[in-house]
């Protein structure tokens, strides 16, 4: 019994769409376009965001080497080997990075150990108040992130003491770093000092390289390192300058606006088409009501038709959007785009909402049709 109710319902939905293929195709095209644009834009957005989340701070660097996730640290001996492997002409700058908690006379802070001699080229975007520490093994001067300096109320030239048991080491603050990134929160000290102080000789968390890539060397180097150091992760990272970062934000905004505009256009198009389609079908709905159909059922029939079209459009739109994302990714960012889970969710939710929104008014109007007027035989 329930089965026959359902099958008549299904019949009404599917047959009615089949009869009006031309309008259905228009609705499908509009919804597919909307879904494709959402997929493409959101795909690029999330992927680029993710790719850059821990790499944005390395504006100057374009190559990352680190331990595989489960294997603690990167040995600086390995780092030296890698440096030795790189063609001298291609290597612009590089430094291992080591992080650790240190006790100062004020409070406990995160220290970042780097090779100061390399930082001018590796982190050219650092805005420095005072001066950069320019010597690799400087044990008297440090730099400090601007946020940390502000919190500790430290000025250029001030002293800061590191404490460990009875040990005490005094540094002078030579420069305050403002990068807009995480370094703003760190005390930046020379790597070999930090390794000694933390009893982690030979260790770093990862290393960043700035490698000349004018002939696409980076990917070759990545291949080579992968073979020679299978225990390490070596990969190129998107090289983004600070100003490029701002452009990127604008591109993201632009993508959002484009997606929104297309979505609105697609809603309008679907709405217009459905309005025409429903007014063609007034007699059908009037008849169904005269035969005893509950008005709600007319509404639900139209919504089911709409959802069916939305479903087909989402499948088509995801496929088309994937292709579009790759084209966008390659032309704008020179990278292929992985479509991430939130993109699917977003595409489905937005497409379904758009379709239902577009169908709502035509459906309500169809539901309110007056059979006495429409069916009257003149």
Partner 1 sequence: MSEFAIETRGLVKRFGQVCALDNVNIAVRKGEFVAIMGASGSGKTTLMNILTCLDTHTEGQVFLDGQEASLLDEDGRRNFRAEKIGLLFQQFHLIPYLTALQNVMLAQHYHSVTEEDAAKKVLEDVGLGHRMDHLPSQLSGGEQQRVCIARALVNDCPILFADEPTGNLDEANEKIVLDIFQKLHANKHTIIMVTHNPDLGRYTDRVIRLQHGKVIEEVQN
Select 131 or 370, whichever has its Cβ closest to partner 1. Answer: 370
In order of 7, 185, 289, 295, 369, the CA distances from 286 in angstroms are 21, 70, 5, 10, 6
In order of 107, 241, 263, 274, 335, the CA distances from 339 in angstroms are 43, 25, 19, 31, 13
Select 17 or 221, whichever has its Cβ closest to partner 1. Answer: 17
**How many residues bind to partner 1 according to rule CB under 8 A?**
28
Q: Does 85 bind partner 1 (CB under 8 A)?
A: no
Whether residue 346 contacts residue 255, with contact meaning beta carbons closer than 8 Å, is answered with no
DSSP 257-297: HHHHHHHHHHHHHHHHHHHHHHHHTHHHHHHHHHTT--HHH
- Cα–Cα dist 151/7, whole Å: 70
From the CB of 273, what's the least distance to partner 1, in Å? 18
Select 115 or 284, whichever has its Cβ closest to partner 1. Answer: 284
- Cα–Cα dist 3/24, whole Å: 27
Q: Does 227 bind partner 1 (CB under 8 A)?
A: no
Site for partner 1 (CB under 8 A): which residue of 10, 19, 103, 258? 19
From the CB of 11, what's the least distance to partner 1, in Å? 7
Site for partner 1 (CB under 8 A): which residue of 92, 293, 308, 316? 293
- Cα–Cα dist 254/319, whole Å: 22
Q: Does 16 bind partner 1 (CB under 8 A)?
A: yes
- Helix residue spans in 86-201 (DSSP H): 116-122, 146-152, 191-197
Q: Does 294 bind partner 1 (CB under 8 A)?
A: yes
> Measured between alpha carbons, how far apart are the two ends of the chain, in Å?
38
Q: Per-residue string for binding with partner 1, 354-373, x by CB under 8 A?
A: -----------------xx-
Whether residue 63 contacts residue 234, with contact meaning beta carbons closer than 8 Å, is answered with yes
Q: Does 21 bind partner 1 (CB under 8 A)?
A: no
Select 8 or 253, whichever has its Cβ closest to partner 1. Answer: 8
Site for partner 1 (CB under 8 A): which residue of 23, 51, 252, 295? 295
Residues 6+ apart with CB under 8 A from 134: 116, 117, 120
Q: Does 22 bind partner 1 (CB under 8 A)?
A: no
Q: Does 305 bind partner 1 (CB under 8 A)?
A: no
From the CB of 22, what's the least distance to partner 1, in Å? 14
Q: What interhelical angle do 295-328 and 242-280 show, nearest 10?
A: 150
Window of 10-18, 36-44, 159-167, 207-215 that interacts with partner 1 by CB under 8 A: 10-18
Select 7 or 336, whichever has its Cβ closest to partner 1. Answer: 7
Place of tokens 């291609």: 90
Q: How far from the centroid of its chain's Cα atoms is residue 123's Cα? A: 23
Q: Does 15 bind partner 1 (CB under 8 A)?
A: yes
Considering only residues 243-272, where is the footprint of partner 1 by CB under 8 A?
none
Site for partner 1 (CB under 8 A): which residue of 47, 55, 284, 305? 284
From the CB of 290, what's the least distance to partner 1, in Å? 6
Q: Which residues bind partner 1 (CB under 8 A)?
A: 1, 4-5, 7-8, 11-12, 15-16, 18-19, 283-284, 286-295, 371-372, 375-377
């Amino acid at each position: 019994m329930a089965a026959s109710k359902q099958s008549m319902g299904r019949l009404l939905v599917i047959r009615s769409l089949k009869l009006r293929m031309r309008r259905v195709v228009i609705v499908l095209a509009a919804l597919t376009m909307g879904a494709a644009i959402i997929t493409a834009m959101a795909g690029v957005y999330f992927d680029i965001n993710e790719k850059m989340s821990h790499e944005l701070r390395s504006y100057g660097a374009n190559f990352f080497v680190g331990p595989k996730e489960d294997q603690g640290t990167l040995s600086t001996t390995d780092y030296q080997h890698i440096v030795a492997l790189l063609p001298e002409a291609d290597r612009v700058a590089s430094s291992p990075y080591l992080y650790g908690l240190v006790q100062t006379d004020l409070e406990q802070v995160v220290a970042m150990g780097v090779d100061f001699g390399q930082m001018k080229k590796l982190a050219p975007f650092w805005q420095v108040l005072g001066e950069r520490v320019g010597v690799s093994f400087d044990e008297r001067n440090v730099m400090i992130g601007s946020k940390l300096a502000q919190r500790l109320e430290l000025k250029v030239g001030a002293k800061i003491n590191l404490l460990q048991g009875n040990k005490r080491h005094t540094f002078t603050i030579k420069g305050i770093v403002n990068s807009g990134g995480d370094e703003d929160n760190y005390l930046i000290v020379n790597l070999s000092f930090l390794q000694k102080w933390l009893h982690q000789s030979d260790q770093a968390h990862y290393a960043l390289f700035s490698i000349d890539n004018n002939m696409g060397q980076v990917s070759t180097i990545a291949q080579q390192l992968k073979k020679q150091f299978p225990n390490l992760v070596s990969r190129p990272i998107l090289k983004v300058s600070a100003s490029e970062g701002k452009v990127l934000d604008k591109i993201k905004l632009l993508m959002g606006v484009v997606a929104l505009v297309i979505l609105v256009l697609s809603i309008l198009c679907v709405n217009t088409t459905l309005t025409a389609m429903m007014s063609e079908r007034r007699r059908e709905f009037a008849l169904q009501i005269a035969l005893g159909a509950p008005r709600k059922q007319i509404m639900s029939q139209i919504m089911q038709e709409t959802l069916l079209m939305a479903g087909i459009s989402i499948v088509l739109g995801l496929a088309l959007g994937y292709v579009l994302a790759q084209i966008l990714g390659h032309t704008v960012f020179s990278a292929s785009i992985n479509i991430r889970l939130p993109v699917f969710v977003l595409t489905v939710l937005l497409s379904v909402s758009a379709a239902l929104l577009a169908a709502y008014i035509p459906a309500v109007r169809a539901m309110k049709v007056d059979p006495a007027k429409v069916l009257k035989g003149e």
